[in-house]
Every structure is written in C-alpha cells, then in structure tokens.
Structure 1
Amino acid sequence: MDTITIKLVLNSIVFSIVGILILLCTYFIIEKITPENTWKEISQNKNTALAIIVGAFIIGISMIISAAIHG
C-alpha cells in the first residue's frame, strides 16, 4: 500500500488547479467565439438547449484534460 506524502498531495493540488484553469480558458474562448452571451442566454432567457450543450462541452473538455494529466 502506498503512503500518502506531501509531494503527492501537492502534485494533486497543482494538477487540479491547472486543469481548472485550462477549463476556464477554454470556456472563455468559446464565449468569445459564439455570437451571443451564453451565460445570459442560460440564466435570463432560460435557454435549456444551450444549457445542455454548455454542460456537455464542460464535461467533454474535463474528460480531455483529465486524460491528458493522468497520461
């Protein structure tokens, strides 16, 4: 059984932060590319279809980032 060390914990924290930053960057890139403000469409106009697409996008990008970090 592997022991948990400070190095392993710090690596997990660093990779988690890097993954979240990459996810946020890709979200803002998509936000700039699309003609409408997606968050405004989802929250104010209650666009359910767009909310599903954005959710699927976030899950997909998260899986790609996870696979890239895990190796």
Structure 2
Amino acid sequence: MEATLLTNLVAAIVFAALGIVVLFATFIITDRLTPYDLWREIVEKHNTALAVLVGSFALGMSLIIAAAIH
C-alpha cells in the first residue's frame, strides 16, 4: 500500500509541474503573438480590461490542461 501511495504522490507532483510548465508556456506564446507586452500593459499602464482577459485566458487554459492530464 505504501508503494502505491508513493507512486501516486510522485505522479501527482509530476503532473502538477507539467501543468504549470504548459500554462506558463501558453502565456509566453500568447505574449509573443500579441503586438504589445502584456505584462507592461497590465502592471505599468494598469489596463484592467486586459488583466481580466489574461486572467480568463489563464483559467480557461488551466481547465483544458487539467482535463488533458486527467
């Protein structure tokens, strides 16, 4: 039973790390595809609408990644 628990724990950690990496990669790709720097627009120019859009994108991608890993 302990071997199964350890195997499941390692698998969960690997899948969580993989999901975070994929989510980060999709954000970078999206940032490169847009004609402006997303981070600068959100942080320096306080573009609230863009922040909501990027947050919604992150949530949507998280759901897709979680469904694909599951």
Q: TM-score range by the shorter chain?
A: over 0.9
| Total equivalences in the alignment | 69
Q: Are 1:51 and 2:27 counterparts?
A: no
Q: If the length of structure 1 is used for normalisation, what is the TM-score?
A: 0.92
Q: Which residue does 2:30 correspond to in 1?
A: 30
The CA deviation at 1:33 is 0.2
* Structure 1 consecutive aligned stretches of length 4 or more whose deviation exceeds 3 Å: none
Percent sequence identity over aligned pairs = 42
Amino acid at match of 2:8: L
The separation in 1 between residues aligned to 2:54 and 2:25, in whole angstroms, is 14
Instruction: Note the residue ranges of structure 1 that are not aligned, 5 or more in a row.
Output: none
For 2:69, the equivalent position in structure 1 comes to 69
Query: Any unmatched runs of 5+ in structure 2?
Result: none
Distance 1:27 1:45 in 2: 19
Could you tell me which amino acid in structure 2 is paired with residue 20 of structure 1?
I
Q: Distance in 2 between matches of 1:24 and 1:52?
A: 17
Letter of the structure 2 residue corresponding to residue 10 of structure 1: V
- TM norm structure 2: 0.93
- Partner secondary structure for residue 36 of structure 1: coil
Q: What is the CA RMSD across the aligned residues, in angstroms?
A: 1.5
Instruction: Please tell me the residue identity of whatever aligns with 1:66.
Output: A
